[in-house]
Amino acid sequence: MQTNLRKLSVNRASIAHKIRYAARNPARIAPYLRRTARDTWLRLKHRDHVAYYRAVMASDTGRDPDLAVGSRSRERWLALGEMQFDYLKGHGLRPGQRMLDIGCGNLRAGWRFIDYLDEGHYYGIDISPDILISAKKTLAAYKLQAKLPHLTLTYDLTFDFLPEDHFDVIHAHSVFSHSPLPVIDECLAHVGRVLAPGGFFDFTFDRTEGREHHVLREDFYYRTETLIGLAERHGLRAEFMDDWELLPHGQSKIRVSSH
C-alpha cells in the first residue's frame, strides 16, 4: 500500500522525476525524446486540444492501432477489453440496455459489448477517423455486422446529435486520462441529458494524490475529489469505484448517475 501511495503522489511532469526515471530506464530516453519532438510539432500545428489529440491518434494508429489505444500487444489488448466487459457485466450491464461508448477506439472492449448487447444497442463515438476505420476492421474480423452497431465521428462531447434519456450505460475508458479539465467539464455538463433514468456513466482517469499535472498534454493526472466535485456541480452523483482498484489496471474509475 505504501508503494502505491508513493506512486500516486508522483509528479511526472517535474524535472526531478524525469531525471530519476531516465536514470532508471535509459532505454526509454530516445523514444521519449522522439515523442516530445512529435508532440511539440503537433501542438504548434493544432492549438485546439481535440485537433491536437486527433493528430496524435492519426500518428499512433498509423504505426499500430492497438498501441494507439494503449495496448502494447494483442494479448494485452484482449485482456483489457475483457476486463472492461466483465466489470460492466458484473455491475449491471444487460443485453437489452442501450450503451454509449465514448472514445470507443478500435473496439478493444467494444466488440464484446456489441456481441453481448441486442442488435443496434451499441453506439460508439471517437474523435479519430483513423481509429474508427480500424474499429470497422475489428467489427468485420469478429463477424458482428448483423448487430448493426453505430460508429460515429465526433469533435466534442456535447452529445448534441443524440436523443435525451436514451442510454442506460455510458462508458469512457482511457478518455479523461487524455483530456484537459475543460473537455471533462463539457462532457459532464451534457452527459446527464442523454443518460436514461436509472442509468450510469463509468469513466476511468489517471489518479494522483499529489499535485495535478500532465505529461506532454497527452496524459493528465487528477485528484479524485476534483472530478467528483465537477460532476456534482453539474447535478450528478459521483462514486469512486473501489473494487475496480483490485483489477490489474493503472487507472481509477468513477461512476456517475443522476440524482
pLDDT band at residue 22 under the 50/70/90 scheme: low
Position 21 pLDDT exceeds 80: no
Q: Write the burial class of residue 110 (CB in 10 Å: 0-12 exposed, 13-18 middle, 19+ buried).
A: buried
Residues 173 and 8: their CA atoms lie apart, in Å, by 19
Q: Which DSSP state fits 105? A: T
CA 178 to chain centre: 7
The pLDDT score that the predictor gives to residue 142 is 97
Residues 41 and 210: their CA atoms lie apart, in Å, by 29
Residues 221 and 10: their CA atoms lie apart, in Å, by 10
Residues 182 and 253: their CA atoms lie apart, in Å, by 19
Q: Is 226 helix (H, G, I), strand (E, B) or coil?
A: helix
Q: Poorest-confidence range of 65-79, 165-179, 221-235?
A: 65-79
The pLDDT score that the predictor gives to residue 196 is 97
Q: What CATH number is associated with residue 103?
A: 3.40.50.150
Domain containing residue 50: 2-258
Q: Write the burial class of residue 30 (CB in 10 Å: 0-12 exposed, 13-18 middle, 19+ buried).
A: exposed
**Bridge partners, residue 202, by sequence:** 171, 255
Look over the chain and give the mean of its residue pLDDT values, rounded to a whole number. 91
Position 82 pLDDT exceeds 70: yes
| Total of domains in the chain | 1
pTM to 2 decimal places: 0.90
Q: Poorest-confidence range of 5-9, 48-52, 88-92, 100-104?
A: 5-9
